[in-house]
């Protein structure tokens, strides 16, 4: 295969013909950094923002020229709305249980604090017939849509190797609600990578994982090693270190995906010097090719993945898309993988034999 055209790879999700108004619950940094910029860029109407801290909601709403709802009831009264829950995990279930029957909703990851909470969210969504998806938006980043398209078109052959390597300095202080939580790194960060891998390779048979903190701070976990078990044909490994705080020179945030006939390299730029970030990058060595080819990206993970994520949800709600990517049914599987990773981390390691006397 030598007819590789990087310009032909998909980077955008088609927009809905008639976008519905978006009601956002939560006025944290992620809303100002990603949700609202994405919706403005995509032309999605935002009806308003609600946060229990009304002053916080008012400040954000004024910046983006949208309404700050004074009460939950006022936010819920917007007709035909898509509800965007940019809230901490513990708040998801209570808000979902109050949404109108059959409403469309986007739930901030993770899908609850643990698998039990995810199961409750799944039950509420089923019981209220919600068109609900979880905001695992990495699948919708332009670079990842391009990668998935390249894989689907056969440019890599059969994917048999997936490496995620992160060595960076993450400013955990930007998210004060994380303080004191027992599960951080996998549940809040690497969950994006696990979900993307599941979307690309399917759900693994199992996982071997170890996640730990760091003596220089009190965040529960900031370093993770994990191996996903796909049998004897696919190797999948993640090495994640958020404490490589020694300057930019040797930091990294990248994926290497190898197939039987080609390969891809991806740099996830937003995590480097977050939230300012660096440009994302994707290079592909296609089947039959003799060199690496850069795919010129038209957008970035932040905020464009949020735009694409919302586009799929809106199109599914209107009947324009047949599949809701990252639905609560699918996201529950990612949460099950996260739960298994934490269980693996807590389990004792296989003892090593001692030298005979």
CA–CA distance, 283 with 146 (Å, rounded to integer): 10
Could you tell me if 103 and 130 are in contact, meaning their C-beta atoms sit under 8 angstroms apart? yes
For residues 105 and 274, the model is more confident at 105
CA–CA distance, 123 with 93 (Å, rounded to integer): 10
Which of 176-185, 197-206, 283-292, 305-314 has the weakest average pLDDT? 176-185
Could you tell me if 129 and 101 are in contact, meaning their C-beta atoms sit under 8 angstroms apart? yes
The pLDDT of residue 1 is above 70:
no
Reported confidence tier of residue 173, pLDDT bands at 50, 70, 90 = confident
Read off the pLDDT of residues 30-71 as tens digits, 9 standing for 90 and up.
Answer: 999 999 999 999 999 999 999 999 999 999 999 999 999 999
Could you tell me if 42 and 311 are in contact, meaning their C-beta atoms sit under 8 angstroms apart? yes
Would you tell me how many other CB atoms lie within 10 Å of the CB of residue 109? 23
Which pLDDT belongs to residue 2? 62
**Average of per-residue pLDDT values in the chain:** 96
CA 251 to chain centre: 21
Domains and CATH numbers, the chain: 13-138+307-341 (3.40.50.720), 139-301 (3.30.360.10)
Q: Which of 84, 80, 96 shows the shortest CA–CA distance to 21? A: 80
Read off the pLDDT of residues 246-271 as tens digits, 9 standing for 90 and up.
Answer: 999 999 999 999 999 999 999 999 99
**Phi and psi torsions of 74, nearest 5°:** -65, -40
Cβ neighbors of 97 (< 8 A, separation 6 or more) are: 124, 128
């Amino acid at each position: 295969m030598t007819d590789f055209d990087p310009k032909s790879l998909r980077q955008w999700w088609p927009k809905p013909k008639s976008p519905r108004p978006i009601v956002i619950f939560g006025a944290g940094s992620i809303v100002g950094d990603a949700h609202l910029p994405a919706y403005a860029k995509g032309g999605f109407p935002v009806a308003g923002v609600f946060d229990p801290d009304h002053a916080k909601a008012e400040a954000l709403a004024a910046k983006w020229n949208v309404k700050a709802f004074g009460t939950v009831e006022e936010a819920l009264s917007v007709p035909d709305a898509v509800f965007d829950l940019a809230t901490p995990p513990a708040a998801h279930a209570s808000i979902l249980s109050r949404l109108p029957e059959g409403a469309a909703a986007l739930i901030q990851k993770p899908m609850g604090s643990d698998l039990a909470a995810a199961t409750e969210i799944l039950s509420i969504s089923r019981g209220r017939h919600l068109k609900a998806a979880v905001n695992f938006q990495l699948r919708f980043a332009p670079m990842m849509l391009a990668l998935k398209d390249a894989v689907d078109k056969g440019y890599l052959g059969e994917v048999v190797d997936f490496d995620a390597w992160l060595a960076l300095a993450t400013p955990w202080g930007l998210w004060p609600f994380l303080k004191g939580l027992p599960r951080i790194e996998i549940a809040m960060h690497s969950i994006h990578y696990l979900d993307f891998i599941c979307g690309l390779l399917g759900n693994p048979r199992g996982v071997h994982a170890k996640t730990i903190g760091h003596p220089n701070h009190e965040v529960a976990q900031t370093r993770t090693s994990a191996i996903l078990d796909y049998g004897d044909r696919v190797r999948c490994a993640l090495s994640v270190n958020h404490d490589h705080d020694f300057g930019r020179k040797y930091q990294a945030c990248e994926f290497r995906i190898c197939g039987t006939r080609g390969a891809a390299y991806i740099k996830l730029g937003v995590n480097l010097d977050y939230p300012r970030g660096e440009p994302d990058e994707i290079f592909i060595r296609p089947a039959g090719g003799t060199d690496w080819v850069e795919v010129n990206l038209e957008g970035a993970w932040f905020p464009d993945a949020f735009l694409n994520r919302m586009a799929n949800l809106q199109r599914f709600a209107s009947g324009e898309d047949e599949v809701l990517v990252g639905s609560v049914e699918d996201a529950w599987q990612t949460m099950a993988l996260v739960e298994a990773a934490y269980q693996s981390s807590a389990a004792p390691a296989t003892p090593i034999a001692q030298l005979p006397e």
